[in-house]
Amino acid sequence: MSTKPIETPAKSKPVHPSYGKVLLTFVRNSLVRDMSFRTNFILQCITSLSWALMNFGLYKIIYGHTQQIGHWGEHEFFVFLATLWIINSIVQAFFMPNADEFSELIRTGNLDYALLKPIDTQFLVSFTRIDWSQLTNLATGLVILGISLRQLAHQAVNPLTIAPWTIFAYVFFVACGTVVMYGLMFTLAATSIWLGRNQNLYTFWFYITNFYRYPMEIYQRNALGWSLFATFTFVVPVLLVVNVPARVLARPLRPNWYSYEWLLAGLAVVAAVVSLAMSRLVFRWALNSYRSASS
Amino acid sequence: MAVIEVRQLWKSYRVYQKKEGLIASVRGLFRREYRDVHAVRGIDIDVERGEFIAFLGPNGAGKTTTLKLLSGVIRPSQGTCGVLGFTPWHRDNAYRRRFALVMGQKNQLWWDLPAQESFRLHQHIYRISPDDFTRVRDELADLLNVRKLMSQPVRELSLGERMKMELIAALLHSPEVLFLDEPTIGLDVVAQHNIQQFLKYYQEERKITAMLTSHYMKDVAALCRRVIIIANGLIHYDGSLSGVIGQFGSDKIVTLQLSEDTSFAQFENLPNLIEIIPPKIKFRCARDEVAQVLASFLDKHAVQDVSVEDPPLEEVIAKVFSQAQADHQLRSGESESSNSERKNVRPNRVGERS
Amino acid sequence: MTGTWLQRVMTWWIFFRISIEERLVYRVDYVIGTLLRFLPIVTQIFLWMAIFDAASKAVRETGDSFQIAGYRFHEMVAYYLLVTVSRAFSSMPGLTPGIARQIRDGEIKKYLIQPVDLIGSLLLQRIAHKFVYYFVAILPFALVFYLLGDYFPNGWPPVDVLLVFIASLVLSFLLGFFMETLFGLLAFWFLEIASLTFVFMLLNFFLSGHMFPLELLPREPINWQFIVDLLPFKYLAYFPAAVFLGKITGAQLYWGLAIEFAWVVVLILLTRVAWARGVARYSAFGG
C-alpha cells in the first residue's frame, strides 16, 4: 500500500449538479450497454418492427371492409397510427425501463443509493436507463407518417396542404403528449412504494393506455362513450396524447380560435403541465413513506 | 460541536401480519391485521469529528436502520438527529454531497459497464472538477490496488474487487462523514484485511468521521476505538472497545503449563475446563477468583508457566447480546417504559451533554 | 405402495394450498387487475361500432343485418367477450420469464436435488392461481356479461356445443401452460430469451384470435387462414369463442376438439423432451 497522502479537494463546491452532463452520461452508458449485447439488441429491433407491421396489417384488413373509422379515412388514420408509434416508442425507450427499474429499486431496497445522491431523485430515477432498441418504431412511425402525408397531399378530393407552422405545432404537441405520458407513468410507478410488489405495472399501463390508441370520435356516441371520453380527456388525459398532434397534422386547426380543435390543443398543454406537477407531488409524497427493504 | 447528534430517535414500522392457514388467508383478503415493529426505540448518540465508531448488535437489532436514518434514506417516527448540522431526512443537496453510505449487501455500480463509467457519472452528479476527479480516483485506485480493473465490466469482477470499486465510488467526492454497513460481508480473509487496512489509513489520513456495522470482530478491533452495542433497538453499551470486556467479560481464561510427569487425568473433572493438551491445561475462571485458584495450583502442582487472558471479544459480545435478549423478553411483559430505563443504563452520557 | 401414493397426494395438496395462500396476499393487485381486464373490450366495442357504422352506411344497409367477415355487430362484441373467457384460461402471465429466470439464476438446481418435479409443481401452482383468479374474477365477469347480455341475442348454445366449449377451455388451459413452459425451457439453450418471449407474445396476439376474429384474415396474396389452421395458437382464444357463437358446427366441432387435444399431447411430450435434454445439458456444463 502506498503511503502517499490524499489531498483534500478545494472546498468551494457548486451546489447544483450538472444535469446536462449527467443526462449525457446516461445516454452514453445506456448505448454502450445496449451495444455490448448486440444480438439481443437486433432481435429487439426486429420484434418491435414486426409488432408495428402486424398492427399496420390489421388496420389494412379493417380498411378493406370500411372506408372510415370515426370519420378518419385510411391515410388520415395512418397519420394517427404513426403518431401513436412515435409517442409510444419514446415512452418505451425513455420512460418504461426507468419506471420498471423504479419498482425494482423499491423491492430490492436499492433506491437507498438514489436517495443519497445530491441530485433531484426524480430526475435520477427517471432517466437512468434508455432502451435504444425501442426507438425502432420512432423510425417506422416517421416512415409511415411520410407516406401517409404524401398520399393525403396527392389525393384527388380535398388534397392536404401542410404549412411549416403545422410541422412545428405537430412537434410541440407530440412533446406535450409525451410529457403527459411521463407524468402518468411516474405517478403510477411511485405507487409501488405503497403497494409493494407491483408486477402488474406493465399490465396496468397497457390497460390505461388502451384508450389512447384510437381516435376520440369513436367514443363520442352513447352515454358510456361520452363518459369515457370525458374521463380520459379531463381526468386521465390520455386521449389528448395522440389525438391532438394527429389532428393538427391530418386535419389542420381551423383559424377561428374558439373552435373545438383549439380547445383540445389548449387542453393538451394544460394536461402536460398538470400531470408533470402531479407526478412530482406524488413522487415526493411516496418517498416519505419509503421503508428501504433490508437486503 | 458534535458531528453527529442523535436524540431520542425512534423508528417504528407497521407490518402486515400474515396468518397461517387457508381460511385465514381468504379472510386476509378483506381484513388485515397489522403489528407495530420498533426497529429503533429512542437512542441517543454523540459523535465527535474524527471518531471511528463500531455499531455492534445481533441481526435485526436496529444497526442498519440507524445508519439509514442518519443518511436520510428513511424518516424516523420520532426524535431528532443532526449530522454536520443538517437534518438528514430533509435530504439537502448540501448535506448529501458531504457524506457517503456504503452497503456491503447492495451495489450501486452499473453491472454491465466498467466501474470507471459509474465513477464518471458520480463526477457529474457531485460536480467534481476534472482535475480533482482524476487525482482522487487514481489515488484511491492505487491505494486499493485496482487501477487496472477499472475498465473491466463490473460483472466480471470478484466480490472483493467489486467492494473496492464501491468504496472508490463512495469516496470520490471526499465525504467528511462515512457510514459503512457491513462493508466486508462475504469477503475472503485477504480482501477483508485489505479493506480494513485501507479504511484505517484513509480515516486517519483524512480525519473523517466514520460509523461501521460489521459482524466481523476483526474489522471492529482493527478500526474502532469506540463501540456502541445495540440490541432490540436500544443501546446497551457505549464506550471503548476494551471497556466492553471490562464491563461484561467477568471471566478470565487461565492456561497453565505443568511438568511432563504430572498425571493429567486428574484434571478431567475440573470445573469450567476448556481443554487439556499435555503439558498444558486451559480453563475458565471468575475474575475475582483468579488469584486464589492460581495460588492453590502453584501449591499442589509443578507449574512451569502461567498465562491469564481475557476471553475472545466475540464471546463477550455474544454474551452481551444474549443478555440483552433476555432483558427484552423480561421487559416485553411490561409496558414500553424503556425511555426512563435507558437513562438509568447510561447516566454518564446524559450527564456529559448538559 | 398406497402409503407413498398417499404421501404424494399430500405433498401436492400442501403445495397447492401454499400456492393459493401466496396468491391471496396480493389482493389489491388482484381486484384491480381483474377489473382492468375488461377495459380493452370496451374500446374494442367502440372501435367496431365506429367501423360497422361507417361500413353499413356506405352500402346503405341497416346496422343490424350488416356483416363483416360473417360477423354481425353483436356477434363481434360477443366474440371479444368470449375471447376474454378463453384468455382467462389460456394466458399464463409470468410463466415463461419465471422459468427462464430460475434457469439463469441456478434456482433450477433445487428440482434436480429434491424429489419434486418442476413441471408438475408449476402446473399445480398455475391451477391454484387460476382457481384464486376465478374466485376473485367471477363477480366482475358475471357483472360484465350481465350488463352486456344484449350482445348474446341467442342466449346459451345447445348442451352439446356447451360441453365442447367447456372441454375446449380446459384444453386451452393445458395448451397455454405447456406452450409457455416449453418456451421457458428454451432458456437452457438461449440465456437471454426476453425477445423470444416477445415473438411468442406477438404470434399469440395476432394468430390466436385475441385481436380480431380469424375470419378477417385474408386468403390473398398469402393464405393466412390456412397458416392459422396449421398452428396451435388459435385454440388459445379463437376456437372456444367460435364454438360458443356457433361459427363451428357439426363434425367440425369434434374434429377441432380432437386436434386441440392432439396439440396438448404433442406439447406435453415436447416439454418432457426439452426438460430432459435441458437438464442433461445443464448438468454437463455444471450450471
**Contacts for A97 with CB less than 8 Å, ≥ 6 apart:** A129, A130, A131
Q: Are B142 and A2 an interchain contact pair (Cβ–Cβ within 8 Å)? A: yes
Say what the pLDDT of residue B31 is.
66
C42 near A CB under 8 A: yes
Say what the pLDDT of residue A5 is.
45
C17 near B CB under 8 A: yes
A2 near B CB under 8 A: yes
More confident position, B249 or A17:
A17
Quick: pLDDT tens for A85-114. Answer: 999 999 999 998 998 888 888 878 889 999
A294 near B CB under 8 A: yes
C-alpha angle with apex C104: C98 to C107, nearest 5 degrees? Answer: 75
Say what the pLDDT of residue B339 is.
39
Rounded to a whole number of angstroms, the distance from the CA of B92 to the nearest CA of chain A is 7
Say what the pLDDT of residue B275 is.
86
Query: What residues of chain B have any CB closer than 8 angstroms to a CB in chain C?
Result: 18, 21-22, 25-26, 28-29
> Chains with ≥3 Cβ pairs under 8 A against C?
A, B
**Chain B contact set for C25 (CB, 8 A):** 18, 25, 28
Q: Round to whole Å and give the CA distance between B257 and B284.
A: 15
Overall average pLDDT of the A35-63 stretch: 87
**Chain C contact set for B28 (CB, 8 A):** 24-25, 27
More confident position, B208 or C59:
B208
Q: Are A13 and B13 an interchain contact pair (Cβ–Cβ within 8 Å)? A: no
Rounded to a whole number of angstroms, the distance from the CA of C8 to the nearest CA of chain A is 32
Asked whether the predicted pLDDT for residue A153 surpasses 80, the reply is yes
Say what the pLDDT of residue B350 is.
32
Say what the pLDDT of residue A159 is.
80
Say what the pLDDT of residue A11 is.
47
Say what the pLDDT of residue C34 is.
67
Model-wide pTM > 0.90: no
Bridge partners (DSSP) listed for residue A81: none
Cell numbers at B123, concatenated: 463526477
Asked whether the predicted pLDDT for residue A294 surpasses 70, the reply is no
State ipTM: 0.82
Query: pLDDT confidence of A253, banded at 50, 70, 90?
Result: low
Say what the pLDDT of residue C162 is.
93
Percent of chain B at pLDDT > 90 equals 42
Asked whether the predicted pLDDT for residue B344 surpasses 50, the reply is no
More confident position, A35 or A272:
A272
**Chain C contact set for B26 (CB, 8 A):** 24
Say what the pLDDT of residue A40 is.
81
Percent of chain B at pLDDT > 70 equals 88
Q: State whether the Cα torsion A215-A217-A221-A226 is positive or negative.
A: positive
Overall average pLDDT of the B280-297 stretch: 87
Around Cβ C50, how many Cβ atoms within 10 Å? 24
A12 near B CB under 8 A: no
Closest CA to B294 of B276, B308, B280, B315: B308
Chain A interface disruption, residue of C51, C147, C212, C222, most A CBs within 10 A: C51
Query: pLDDT confidence of B1, banded at 50, 70, 90?
Result: low
If 0-12 CB within 10 Å is exposed, 13-18 middle and 19+ buried, where does residue B130 land?
Answer: exposed
Query: pLDDT confidence of B335, banded at 50, 70, 90?
Result: very low
Query: pLDDT confidence of A3, banded at 50, 70, 90?
Result: very low
Overall average pLDDT of the B110-138 stretch: 93
Of residues A196, A204, A225, nearest to C36 (C-beta): A204
Query: pLDDT confidence of A1, banded at 50, 70, 90?
Result: very low
Rounded to a whole number of angstroms, the distance from the CA of B341 to the nearest CA of chain A is 28
Rounded to a whole number of angstroms, the distance from the CA of B108 to the nearest CA of chain A is 6
Say what the pLDDT of residue C140 is.
76
Query: pLDDT confidence of A196, banded at 50, 70, 90?
Result: low
Q: Are A43 and C206 an interchain contact pair (Cβ–Cβ within 8 Å)? A: no
The rounded Cα B285 to chain-centroid distance in angstroms is 29
Asked whether the predicted pLDDT for residue B71 surpasses 70, the reply is yes
Q: Are C27 and B29 an interchain contact pair (Cβ–Cβ within 8 Å)? A: yes
Of residues B96, B136, B206, nearest to A117 (C-beta): B96
Nearest residue in B to C27, CA atom: B29
A38 near B CB under 8 A: no
pLDDT per residue rounded down to tens, chain C (287 residues): 456 777 777 777 777 777 777 666 655 566 666 666 777 788 888 999 999 988 888 777 665 678 888 898 999 999 998 998 998 899 888 888 888 888 887 777 777 777 778 888 889 889 988 887 787 777 778 888 888 888 887 888 899 999 999 999 999 999 999 999 999 998 888 866 777 777 788 888 888 998 889 998 888 778 888 888 889 999 999 999 999 999 988 888 999 999 999 999 999 999 999 999 988 888 776 54
- Taking only residues 129 to 148 of chain B, the set having a beta carbon closer than 8 angstroms to any beta carbon of chain A reads 129, 132, 135-136, 139-140, 142-143, 145
Nearest residue in C to B20, CA atom: C21
Rounded to a whole number of angstroms, the distance from the CA of A196 to the nearest CA of chain C is 9
A2-16, B24-38, B261-275, C224-238, range with greatest mean pLDDT: C224-238
Q: Are B172 and B133 in contact (CB under 8 A)?
A: yes
Asked whether the predicted pLDDT for residue B319 surpasses 60, the reply is yes
Rounded to a whole number of angstroms, the distance from the CA of A141 to the nearest CA of chain C is 19
Q: Are B46 and B6 in contact (CB under 8 A)?
A: yes
Chain C interface disruption, residue of B26, B29, B155, most C CBs within 10 A: B29
If 0-12 CB within 10 Å is exposed, 13-18 middle and 19+ buried, where does residue B112 land?
Answer: middle
Asked whether the predicted pLDDT for residue B14 surpasses 90, the reply is no
Overall average pLDDT of the B274-286 stretch: 86
Rounded to a whole number of angstroms, the distance from the CA of C13 to the nearest CA of chain B is 12
**Chain B contact set for C21 (CB, 8 A):** 21-22, 25
Q: Are B25 and C20 an interchain contact pair (Cβ–Cβ within 8 Å)? A: yes
Q: Are C29 and A198 an interchain contact pair (Cβ–Cβ within 8 Å)? A: yes
Q: Are A228 and C46 an interchain contact pair (Cβ–Cβ within 8 Å)? A: yes
Rounded to a whole number of angstroms, the distance from the CA of A228 to the nearest CA of chain C is 9
C26 near A CB under 8 A: yes
> Chains with ≥3 Cβ pairs under 8 A against B?
A, C
**Chain B contact set for C27 (CB, 8 A):** 28-29
Size of interface A-B (CB pairs under 8 A): 115
The rounded Cα C158 to chain-centroid distance in angstroms is 24
More confident position, C222 or B71:
B71
Asked whether the predicted pLDDT for residue A149 surpasses 90, the reply is yes
Say what the pLDDT of residue C152 is.
85
Say what the pLDDT of residue B274 is.
86
* Secondary structure of residue B57 in the 3-state scheme: coil
Counts for chain A of helices (H) and strands (E), in that order = 13, 2
Question: Mean pLDDT in chain A?
Answer: 85
Bridge partners (DSSP) listed for residue B228: B55, B238
Asked whether the predicted pLDDT for residue B165 surpasses 90, the reply is yes
Say what the pLDDT of residue A10 is.
44
Nearest residue in B to A291, CA atom: B74
Q: Are B27 and B288 in contact (CB under 8 A)?
A: no
Rounded to a whole number of angstroms, the distance from the CA of A281 to the nearest CA of chain C is 23
Query: pLDDT confidence of B345, banded at 50, 70, 90?
Result: very low
More confident position, A64 or C133:
A64
Out of A1-5, A20-24, B200-204, B205-209, which region has the weakest mean confidence (pLDDT)? A1-5
Overall average pLDDT of the B4-20 stretch: 82
Say what the pLDDT of residue B351 is.
31
B87 near A CB under 8 A: no
Say which DSSP state B267 is in.
Answer: G
- Taking only residues 206 to 235 of chain B, the set having a beta carbon closer than 8 angstroms to any beta carbon of chain A reads 206
Of residues A58, A68, A208, nearest to C54 (C-beta): A68
Q: Round to whole Å and give the CA distance between C122 and C102.
A: 12
Q: Are C25 and B22 an interchain contact pair (Cβ–Cβ within 8 Å)? A: no
Say what the pLDDT of residue A166 is.
87
Say what the pLDDT of residue C35 is.
67
Rounded to a whole number of angstroms, the distance from the CA of A9 to the nearest CA of chain C is 43
Out of A249-253, B149-153, B200-204, C52-56, which region has the weakest mean confidence (pLDDT)? A249-253
A293 near B CB under 8 A: no
Q: Round to whole Å and give the CA distance between C211 and C74.
A: 16
Q: How many CA atoms lie within 13 A of B116 on its CB side?
A: 13
Say what the pLDDT of residue C142 is.
83
Say what the pLDDT of residue A202 is.
67
Of residues A51, A197, A228, nearest to C26 (C-beta): A197
Chain B interface disruption, residue of C21, C134, C191, most B CBs within 10 A: C21
A287 near C CB under 8 A: no
Q: Are A52 and A137 in contact (CB under 8 A)?
A: yes
Q: Round to whole Å and give the CA distance between C197 and C207.
A: 15
